[in-house]
Structure 1
Amino acid sequence: MRVTELHRENAGEAVDAVFAGLSARSRYLRFHSPTPRLTSSARRVLTDVDGERHAAVCARVGGDPVGIARVIKTAGCGAEIAVAVVDRWQRRGVGRRMLEELTSVAARMGVAELHGDVLHDNHAMLALVKKVLPGVRLTREVDTVHLSYPLAWVTAEITDADLVNSVLGI
């Protein structure tokens, strides 16, 4: 398996291949709603990688895309992350490798903190971020678990809520 940065020129085929390899359940967990097909506007957003405000890495096996992880800058020095691995390759280390590479890409982009929202029942993703992003903050929201992970630990502050969430296993 190779994990490389995705570029605009090859983003379309990778996005299409990964989306096609996701079951309805995996699409729901990734997009937080039933997503039987990608709309043209959603596809445009997913393929609009420029390496400065929106970057992505792609995992390939034998040249075939099996996963995409992306980072999109938000307000300030933060960035949202998202990960998708085709069903056939889930729980084989693909997400871990992509997330590790994505943190390097995000740091190069000047991102100070990663964040994202994960559905409560996406246990695999929650376990992945706990494993790859040690000390990740997980905050239970109404519909999701919000994650935040400072890339610059010097400025990170551990709160009482972080300690309670850690004990509760959130």
Structure 2
Amino acid sequence: MSDRLSSASLYTRFFSGTPRVPEYYLGMLGRLDHWDREALVGLDGDEIVGIAEYVRDTTRPCRADIAVLVADPWQRRGLGSVLIGCLTQLAGRRGITGFDADVVLTNRPALLFVHHGWPAARSTRDGGAAHFTLPLAT
């Protein structure tokens, strides 16, 4: 998937200038337990074109951090929304009542998605990012 990600896409997901999907992230995907750590992928044939994941907060087990990464050719086509929708359903069945998400302020599509797709979202700013508290629909 790294070959289909621009430096801007990598920066907005990992908050760094990494040239490829980082090894630590790939390792984390290999340690999914499908309860506290879950990920869903979008495929085009056998190529991964999107990933949405959550990691449950160990101090607040009803909350989880959520993140999405979509290959550049697939952005703005609804794949991220579908992955988030499916992940939200899984999380809700597993006792998660809300997500936390950090979004780089230059990532306008993600900011618009949160504002339009999560009307009850609350946010704070921390430097060059917005931290969102996203309640799951009950």
TM-score (norm 1): 0.73
Any conservation in 2 of the 1:78–1:113 contact (CA below 8 Å)? yes
Q: Which has the higher helix share?
A: 1
Q: Give, as a single letter, the amino acid of the residue that structure 1 aligns with 2:87.
A: L
| Root mean square deviation of aligned Cα | 1.7
- The partner residue of 2:38 within 30, 33, 55 is 55
How far off is 1:127 after superposition? 1.1
Any conservation in 2 of the 1:116–1:147 contact (CA below 8 Å)? yes
- The partner residue of 2:86 within 101, 123, 139 is 101
- The partner residue of 1:125 within 103, 110, 116 is 110
Q: Give the aligned partner of residue 31 of structure 1.
A: 14
Q: Give, as a single letter, the amino acid of the residue that structure 2 aligns with 1:58.
A: V
* SS in structure 2 of the partner of residue 36 of structure 1: coil
Q: Give the aligned partner of residue 68 of structure 1.
A: 51
* SS in structure 1 of the partner of residue 40 of structure 2: strand
Any conservation in 2 of the 1:100–1:132 contact (CA below 8 Å)? no
TM-score (norm 2): 0.89
- The partner residue of 1:80 within 55, 59, 65 is 65
Unaligned runs of 5+ in 1: 1-16, 154-170
Following the alignment from structure 1 to structure 2, what is the Cα–Cα distance between the partners of residues 63 and 132?
29
Give the 5 Å matches for 1:5-24.
17=1, 19-24=2-7
Give the 5 Å matches for 1:131-150.
131-150=116-135
* SS in structure 2 of the partner of residue 102 of structure 1: helix
What is the identity percentage for the equivalent residue pairs of Structure 1 and Structure 2? 36
- Number of residues of Structure 1 aligned to a counterpart in Structure 2: 136
Any conservation in 2 of the 1:99–1:132 contact (CA below 8 Å)? no
Unaligned runs of 5+ in 2: none
For 1:118-158, what per-residue CA distance to the aligned partner results, in whole angstroms no more than 9, with x for missing partners? 011111111112233232112222221001112266xxxxx
User: Which consecutive aligned stretches of 4+ in structure 1 deviate over 4 angstroms post-superposition?
Assistant: none
* SS in structure 1 of the partner of residue 132 of structure 2: strand
